[in-house]
Amino acid sequence: MNYENILVSIEEKIATITINRPTKLNALNKATISDLSKAISALGGDENVRVIIITGSGEKAFVAGADISEFANYTTVEGAQLAAEGQESLFDFIENLRKPVIAAVNGFALGGGLELAMACHFRVASDNAKMGLPEVTLGLIPGYGGTQRLPQLVGKGRAMEMIMTAAMISAEEAKQYGLVNHVVPQAELLSFTTVIAHKIIKNAPFAIGKAIKSINANFKDGKNGFDTEIKSFGECFGTQDFKEGTTAFLEKRKAEFTGK
């Protein structure tokens, strides 16, 4: 599949999506959001892909924000529609995908860029990365899930301060806050993230998908995370991967999981 603003590569069951608008610091416009949505949907259904990594091209930016020129003249109705469509087609879609999606944050992750990173299941940052939600400087608030996901990751107080001051934080501060899991030199970012991806690939895909679903349930209104966990735990018993995993353990060998 050909894309306008992203590059996709697959190697050893790991798909890497690179947002490729370097002259715009990889800013998200409608075309890029559409490309990402289509690519992640396709990779989500590809049995040869077990983990997805999202990063940005160049050394300056993961995604430096949304393309403001596209919505500068929107009405209230158009603004709400922009947020709703973006959340459904991309940000919520990533969060609920049953395959792990890791953000490799290689520079500025601002506004929609940080919201994209937060929609991923976890984040690794280069040591030059800067993160923030500066929407209030434009007379807006984060519209792609930022007001919801940031408090879940860093706590209500820190999220309030970051959003209201529009301040950027460093990669090390983001790690202290719990916003990113690891900080590494930029030259090592993708190799380090790939090592984590290979650790994930060794484990049962069906179980990983159910773990994602169960963890997410704890943060959904009207959902009981414990109930979701109980049901998902039971469903794992009906898989070939469960039989393979337990048999391999008893036979003292490495399991060969198929995702079935």
Q: Which residues are annotated as catalytic?
A: 115, 135
Other C-beta atoms lying within 10 Å of the C-beta of residue 48: 9
